[in-house]
A and B are shown apart, each in its own frame.
Chain A
């Protein structure tokens, strides 16, 4: 593998830093030091002072993937962890080198687990090259040499060479295709709770997110998109605002949006708000949450539905059961509400298109910029920045496309497009709205004879990726319910199906995707069944999980840590749940109290996760804690409702989220049972809401079957 032409990129950074004042990136270093580093293989650049720069292809949005991936490379490379830095590989370089660094998309909790084979191999290959170079220098067999902490030792003679001393020679050697990997038992860096590599610059305000980019001659754009999905931009009166401070251009962006370009973004936003705009609201202007709810309700009993998991005869078993239990659940649309609003800076010139962006998918950003710019993929440069939150939103490239469409009309000038919070709230790719009708039969002893779970609602794949539909069925709809994931295989008869009811509201992948809704439906209903059977919720689940030892072990671990068999303080009640998704098994126990006035207090959460192999236990704990904050926001407060075809909520005053006072103590139990690589960023979100809802039932006798909780009066009946 030859040298990668990325010195130009580094030189650019150095220039931007000098001219724009304060543009700095955590992984940048002086241009002269960069020039001295050499690539050993494609995943590591090694400097004479033993600094190792590890290449990162996935995106860092807070989930710690950057550090975890670096740990895996560094482990195999045997380099000194304190001298590790990281840099993003640019999407255009990945494209030019036939995607040598693999898939850049960062979602589905895949960042680490699907990168594992090639990043480990990359580190091991570099180590083999360094050892080979040292052995050649000493003229000794490779087998007599060993490596540790960036030093190669010739055992018989005790001679030592630092990585920095042999990197140049190593870089010229062929990259071994199949280097040996270390047994996990020998790990010293991977598997440990080492500190994140990206913390320091987040403490001083120095980290440059895409929204902070500063470039010479840069202008700023604010955008307004038709508030009714499916509507169009009819007209706007630019003359009214042209004289306002800083305003340079008023531009039609596409069929649905208009932008004001000004010296400062605040000026652009202020002028845009003052501009008369007429919208053609289109065919959806009368759609409301009520009409959508009725549309979904019809699907609960519709004869036709796509099947996700079926064995036995659920309908027959339920019909013939001693006791029949039925309940209908509902969850709303939700916005990702990343705290950094969507934004992208673009420059279009004769040379092509250059963008600065926080994206969950560098490859897709490259493609979107090329398409919007009308240039070849090879004419696009993408500067990836750390994301101020992603949660699935920044896998979509709408804001990239818009930035390029605006910049195309102002050639030669970088244009920074920032969405206002209001635009961000009203133009998401929302977590889909669904309802579920749960039906089950119990025999005279309280055993479940059959379960039917009918989901009705919107499909993500039908909207975003119709090519991935399977015979008209959206497989993502059944997350956690398919044969390899469903936790209650001892239920003798089962039917899980989905009546697809697509609305005009755009939907997308929201942290945890459908495990969120599915877990609420299934885990709360299992609790209802336990209650109807007169059994303890844990004992009841244990019986149904007899064929699911992995899931049961995780549930048991959570309950053991929580002290399930011990009494709680007076007035405190417990709820439990378990779920499977993204390759990991999770369970939680919530302890809550509800005051006489109906005020909920969540005192404690114990969450267990089996992700197979744990790369960084402290960051797993951080993701579990974060999953609860995100999941409890959805459980307690958040919803996007629709009136007149548009989203009603426009900012954090109406789209409420969990804050410090809502957040319980979260105790994480990592059950790393080994042998597989499960996801971490999303799986645990499944068990945030159901445990709390089940605990609320224990406390109040009230079964909450629709979210958010803020609409329910929890005062004891």
Chain B
């Protein structure tokens, strides 16, 4: 049994310690908001926050997490809508198919925490998640809008 701190709660998980966090979230804990897209850290659909930093959960073996605190899209805000990134996403009608958006939102939230007023270059560097629908221009606009809102 492995003890994990996920979304502010302690969970006992009966999984091999080498199992990637992505699959423990999805299959052992039923938290399917975190998505599988590639399994090799390329697409970012599985992005979560580990001790406040955005990480690709397909590359984290659960046995290495120890007391680290994991936050998934389900717990980014209490109602799933009230984080400033989520609000900006709604205002800008960012999602198309939506499959990558959990990861995009987690990456964007982490970016704003680290850089409250990111430049376009900061966004290019931080948001490397793949979106096949091509919501990139709206993601960029929504991040800038969320940053502006935070200052107001």
Give A666 to B135 CA distance when docked, in angstroms: 11
Across-interface contacts of A62 in B (CB, < 8 A): 95-98, 133
Asked if B3 CB lies within 8 Å of chain A CBs, one says no
Across-interface contacts of A206 in B (CB, < 8 A): 33, 74, 80
Asked if A49 CB lies within 8 Å of chain B CBs, one says no
Contact pick for A626, options B81, B89, B96, CB 8 Å? B96
Asked if A22 CB lies within 8 Å of chain B CBs, one says yes
Size class of the contact patch on chain B? 35 or more
Task: Give the interface centre of B20, B37, B39, B125 by most chain A CB atoms within 10 Å.
Answer: B37
Asked if A628 CB lies within 8 Å of chain B CBs, one says yes
Contact pick for A203, options B42, B90, B131, CB 8 Å? B90
Interface of chain A residues 200 through 235 with chain B (CB within 8 A):
200-209, 211-212, 214, 220
Beta-carbon contact of A420 and B39 below 8 Å: yes
Contact pick for B135, options A211, A338, A340, A626, CB 8 Å? A626
Interface stretch (choices A33-41, A163-171, A652-660)? A652-660
Interface stretch (choices A141-149, A347-355, A384-392, A429-437)? A384-392
Asked if B35 CB lies within 8 Å of chain A CBs, one says yes
Contact pick for B130, options A212, A626, A628, A657, CB 8 Å? A657
Beta-carbon contact of A200 and B90 below 8 Å: yes
Kindly provide the distance from the CB of A20 to the nearest chain B CB, expressed in whole angstroms: 8
Asked if A629 CB lies within 8 Å of chain B CBs, one says yes
Beta-carbon contact of B38 and A651 below 8 Å: yes
Q: Closest residue to A203 on the B side, CB-wise?
A: B86
Beta-carbon contact of B99 and A195 below 8 Å: no
Whether A652 contacts B40 in the complex (CB less than 8 A), given A203-B105, A340-B35, A660-B124, comes out as yes
Beta-carbon contact of A665 and B33 below 8 Å: no
Interface of chain B residues 1 through 59 with chain A (CB within 8 A):
16, 19-20, 23, 26-28, 30-40, 42-43, 45
Whether A212 contacts B32 in the complex (CB less than 8 A), given A199-B93, A200-B81, comes out as yes
Task: Give the interface centre of B26, B93, B135 by most chain A CB atoms within 10 Å.
Answer: B93
Across-interface contacts of A388 in B (CB, < 8 A): 35, 97-99
Across-interface contacts of A205 in B (CB, < 8 A): 31-34, 72-74, 80, 102
Beta-carbon contact of A660 and B133 below 8 Å: no
Contact pick for B97, options A195, A220, A387, A629, CB 8 Å? A387
Asked if A316 CB lies within 8 Å of chain B CBs, one says no
Give A626 to B138 CA distance when docked, in angstroms: 10
Beta-carbon contact of B133 and A626 below 8 Å: yes
Asked if A172 CB lies within 8 Å of chain B CBs, one says no
Asked if B69 CB lies within 8 Å of chain A CBs, one says no
Asked if B123 CB lies within 8 Å of chain A CBs, one says yes
Give A418 to B35 CA distance when docked, in angstroms: 13
Whether A339 contacts B96 in the complex (CB less than 8 A), given A204-B74, A266-B20, A629-B134, comes out as no
Beta-carbon contact of B134 and A627 below 8 Å: yes
- A621-664 vs B: 1/0 string, CB under 8 Å? 01001111110010000000000000000011100011111010
Whether A628 contacts B139 in the complex (CB less than 8 A), given A64-B96, A339-B99, A388-B98, comes out as no
Q: Closest residue to B86 on the A side, CB-wise?
A: A203
Beta-carbon contact of B27 and A618 below 8 Å: no
Across-interface contacts of A338 in B (CB, < 8 A): 97, 99, 132
Across-interface contacts of A488 in B (CB, < 8 A): none
Give A622 to B94 CA distance when docked, in angstroms: 9
Across-interface contacts of A21 in B (CB, < 8 A): 30
Contact pick for B137, options A22, A339, A625, CB 8 Å? A625
- A593-609 vs B: 1/0 string, CB under 8 Å? 00000000000000000
Beta-carbon contact of A421 and B38 below 8 Å: yes
Contact pick for B42, options A619, A633, A652, A658, CB 8 Å? A652
Asked if B146 CB lies within 8 Å of chain A CBs, one says no
What are 28 A-to-B residue pairs whose CB atoms are below 8 Å? A195-B90, A196-B95, A199-B95, A200-B80, A202-B98, A203-B80, A204-B80, A204-B81, A205-B33, A205-B72, A206-B33, A209-B99, A214-B32, A266-B20, A338-B99, A339-B131, A339-B132, A341-B36, A390-B97, A420-B39, A619-B93, A628-B134, A629-B133, A651-B38, A652-B38, A653-B42, A660-B124, A665-B137
Q: Which residues of A contact B (CB under 8 A)?
A: 21-22, 61-64, 195-196, 198-209, 211-212, 214, 220, 245, 264-266, 337-341, 386-391, 418, 420-421, 618-619, 622, 625-630, 633, 651-653, 657-661, 663, 665-666
Q: Which residues of B contact A (CB under 8 A)?
A: 16, 19-20, 23, 26-28, 30-40, 42-43, 45, 72-74, 76-77, 79-81, 86, 89-90, 93-102, 105, 123-125, 127-140
